[in-house]
Structure 1
Amino acid sequence: MTASTPAPSPSAPAAPSYPFAALYGQPRLRTALLLAAVDPLIGGVLIEGPRGTAKSTSARALAELLPKDQGGGRFVDLPLGSSEEQLVGSLDLEAALQHGRVAFRPGLLARAHDGVLYIDEVNLLADGLVDLLLDVCASGINRVERDGVSHQHPARLTLIGTMNPEEGELRPQLLDRFGLFARLDDTLATAERQAIVRARLAFDADPAAFVRRFDTEQQNLARRIVRARSALDGIGFGDAAHDRVAALCHAAQVEGVRADLVMLRAARAHAALDGRGEITDADIDAVAELVLAHRRKAAEDAPSQTPQHRDDTAPTQGDGTRPANGQASTSTSNDSGQPAPSDQPDDWGALPPQPVPIHAVKNVRPLHAKKP
């Protein structure tokens, strides 16, 4: 006699998530998350901060605000050890073996459509997964061509990555693919610390009651996101917005034009959240640092303005010779007339400039001068 398989027990209701409206402090992070929820093509948000700064709590709280129609609003974790097949999907082996047909088995990207795909410690994720993931997020479509499967489906999701800088850095080219960047403060004011701790203790003591306290604010935020999403297409990018964004990105010496595109999209999302039909300078200023913080070129990384090739037009020294490497001499003479030692090493084998003695000669009469 074959034992019958026990009927699956009904799944327990999911524990309530911490409300987004109850987040204290970190206003820049809250703004970045809301903007990414309005326009997923911004590229998501990378959150950098030390341990215990509520990076994961903030990301999970956003999922509750996303539209729930057509299965949206899900929060999907991408574990570090995931395979490419788990992420993008693969051949449905059960359908192939039992029914002899080729079918697509959705992956994590399909589950996260219209929701949040969260990657904790994204700086430790395999490079191949990150490259694939960010390309999909940029286009909003997941295309699979493998194992006899040719399939594509929309993957409109909000990508959120968190990382602790003490555990390693993210490659620059991958860092740039995140639209917005929020660095969390590791030091908080006393009053702010107390407010965060009190709220967290109240949530842990009675999650359901705590969530109910913020129900009205949560619903208002969710409605703002829905209205902003529907208003995006009606907000144009005027010449003034283009001029200001280009000037900010040029001043930051960012590479490429991805920063310009992200800043314009983020400014449009900010205007839509505030119910405006056009982009203003205030919208651009509100998102500029979120876009440029991880793209701004440091002063020490800026290209040197000093030419490295020999310049035949370089100025000569007192003896009529040009300095080594075609550079103008920066040495000065001391009281004895000898040149002061230079801080820059000379080329090997080059002789230092020789001093030319100059004697004062008085009462020198010009040649062929007539006597008075």
Structure 2
Amino acid sequence: MAQAFPFSAIVGQDEMKTAILIAAIDPSIGGVLVLGDRGTGKSTAVRGLAALLPKIKAVTGCRYGCDPADGAARCADCATLRPAGTVAKSHLISVPVVDLPLGATEDRVVGALDLERALSQGVKAFEPGLLAQANRGFLYIDEVNLLEDHLVDLLIDVAASGENVVEREGLSVRHPARFVLVGSGNPEEGELRPQLLDRFGLSVEVKTPDQLAERVEVVKRRDAFEQDRDAFTAQWKKEDERIRRKLVAARTRLPDVAIPDAARERAAALCMALSTDGLRGDLTLIRAARALAALQGDATVGDAHLRRIAGPALRHRLRRNPLDNAGSSARVERAVNELLK
């Protein structure tokens, strides 16, 4: 695996980095959609975060990297890897980051019959796909707005259930496929289908830096990384370690963060003022605010957390308003200023 650019060395793009950290703290938020110009560090941030995350325990010999401590989320194969009544053997693995290319076939994504074993041994065996590889990690889709419709339908089903089901060629396989979905794209090249757009918990906007000093610093750091990756990574190791400790502490703290009824009421009022469809916006806003509070070391969700995370949680859930020419970000900001004074 290629060495990742240190997460802490990414210049600017604070909203994107915060959103990715929040999704890593609480994967139930539903992933992150990153929209903006090419070459603004979208894929760099995802791989950088995965590289600094602590390794996770996985059942030894399991093709899906199942969690030995979570019996409900394990695959059927895990039962064959240990005698009844014994604890499954485990080992440490890196958090997977899997790229889903636009040209991927359905078989490559969901898995299919292992033709080599079928022809050489006459055995019907399942060859896991990209969804299996991404279990308990990140599934990254660049240019997600250009993804083919049949793959979009697959992702919607798996994202909703956390399980991949394959029924084809005489095979009947189901396995866990729980991952943080991260998509990136340029809105000028096409829009996402509403069904997939709604599955992303957070949506952030990234732009090419317009400050001279910031642009120079981006180029300077990237060039230093390409010249000597080991030395550059060592230079930022301490800061990456600080972020790692902060993230691990936030995961531990998350269940204990209190959400007052007043915060729930303000979140609901904000969603009502923006006329968001359904209740997924309310849930995402509260969950993201709780994860942000955990990240900041706060014991209770307050207006400051709702204010900071309202844009990423709600901007992609707004209906078009022909009487309001303001963009979705401006509409969210306006509602926040009115309701969270």
TM value normalised by structure 1: 0.72
In the TM superposition, what whole-angstrom CA distance separates every residue of 1:154-175 from its partner, at most 9, and x where no partner exists? 2222211111122212122322
Alignment partner, residue 8 of structure 2? 21
> What secondary structure is seen at the aligned counterpart in 2 of 1:299?
coil
Report the structure, 1 or 2, having the larger strand content: 2
Change over 3 Å in CA distance of 1:39–1:140 after alignment to 2: farther
8 A Cα contact 1:78 1:108, kept in partner: yes
Query: Separation in 2 of the partners of 1:130 and 1:109?
Result: 13
- Who is 2:111 aligned against? 89
Provide the identity percentage. Answer: 52
Q: Once structures 1 and 2 are overlaid, which stretch shifts more, 177-186 or 292-301?
A: 292-301
Separation in 2, partners of 1:81, 1:100: 30
- Equivalent in the alignment of 2:22: 35
Deviation, structure 1 residue 97: 4.6
**Is the CA contact (8 Å cut-off) linking 1:72 and 1:113 kept in structure 2?**
no
Tell me the CA shift for residue 32 of structure 1: 0.7
In structure 2, the partner of 1:285 is: 307
Match of 2:190 in 1: 168
- Measure, in 1, the Cα distance between the counterparts of 2:178 and 2:52: 15
Alpha-carbon distance, 1:51 to partner:
2.2
Q: 1:238 to 1:103 in 2, by over 3 A?
A: farther
CA contact (8 A) 1:117 1:159 kept: yes
Letter in 1 for 2:136: D
In the alignment, does 2:153 pair up with 1:138?
Answer: no
Contact 1:75 1:115 (8 Å CA) reproduced? yes
Specify the alignment match of 2:149 in structure 1.
127
Q: Which amino acid aligns with 1:59?
A: V
Aligned mates of 1:103, 1:41 — CA distance in 2: 32
Instruction: Give the partner amino acid of 1:25.
Output: G
Q: What are the Cα deviations for residues 132-191 of structure 1, in whole angstroms up to 9, with x where unaligned?
A: 113322333223333333332222222111111222121223222211111112342122
Matched, 1:47 2:69: no
AA of the residue aligned to 1:179: G
Aligned to 2:252: 230
Q: Check the 8 A contact 2:137/2:179 in 1, yes or no.
A: yes
Query: Greater share of helix residues, 1 or 2?
Result: 2
Query: Greater relative contact order: 1 or 2 (C-alpha under 8 angstroms, separation 6 or more)?
Result: 2
The structure with the largest alpha-carbon Rg is 1
* 1:29 positional shift: 0.7
Q: Could you list the per-position Cα deviations for residues 197-240 of structure 1 after superposition, in whole angstroms to 9, with x for gaps in the alignment?
A: 21112111111111101111112222222332333333354422
Q: How does 1:264-303 map to 2 (within 5 A)?
A: 264-300=286-322
Note if contact 1:65-1:73 (Cα within 8 Å) is conserved in structure 2: no
Among 142, 164, 171, the alignment partner of 1:149 is 171
254-263 vs 133-142, which moves further: 133-142
Report the TM-score, using the length of structure 2 for normalisation: 0.78
Preserved CA contact (<8 Å) 1:116 1:159? yes
User: C-alpha distance in 1, partners of 2:36/2:25?
Assistant: 24
- Residue 219 of structure 2 aligns with which residue? 197
Give the number of equivalent residue pairs: 289
Matched, 1:246 2:233: no
Name the counterpart of 1:63: 50
SS in 2 for 1:37: helix
| Alignment-derived partner of residue 212 in structure 1 | 234
Give the direction of change, closer, same or farther, for the CA distance of 1:85–1:234 in structure 2 (3 Å limit): farther
> Using the alignment, how far apart are the partners of 2:53 and 2:153 within structure 1?
26
CA contact (8 A) 1:72 1:114 kept: no
1:91–1:102 CA contact under 8 A, matched in 2: yes
Cα distance 1:233–1:146, how it changes in 2: closer, same or farther (>3 A)?
farther
Instruction: Quote the RMSD (CA, aligned, Å).
Output: 2.1
Q: Which amino acid aligns with 1:188?
A: D
Structure 1 stretches lacking a partner, 5+ long = 1-13, 303-372
| Contact 1:49 1:184 (C-alpha < 8 Å) held by counterparts | yes
Asked if structure 2 preserves the Cα contact closer than 8 Å seen for 1:74 and 1:115, the reply is yes
1:90 CA drift (Å): 2.1
**What residue ranges of structure 2 are gaps of 5+ in the alignment?**
59-92, 325-341
Provide, for residues 11-54 of structure 1, a one-character-per-residue CA deviation record: whole Å limited to 9, x for no partner.
xxx43211100011111111111111112221111111122222
Report the 3-state secondary structure (helix = DSSP H, G, I; strand = E; otherwise coil) of the residue aligned with 2:139: strand
Out of 186, 205, 217, which is 1:183 matched to?
205
Contact 1:120 1:162 in 2 (8 A): yes
Q: Quote the Cα distance in structure 2 between the aligned partners of 1:177 and 1:42.
A: 9
CA distance in 2, matches of 1:66, 1:141: 23
- Give the 3 Å change call, closer, same or farther, for CA 146–272 of structure 1 in structure 2: farther
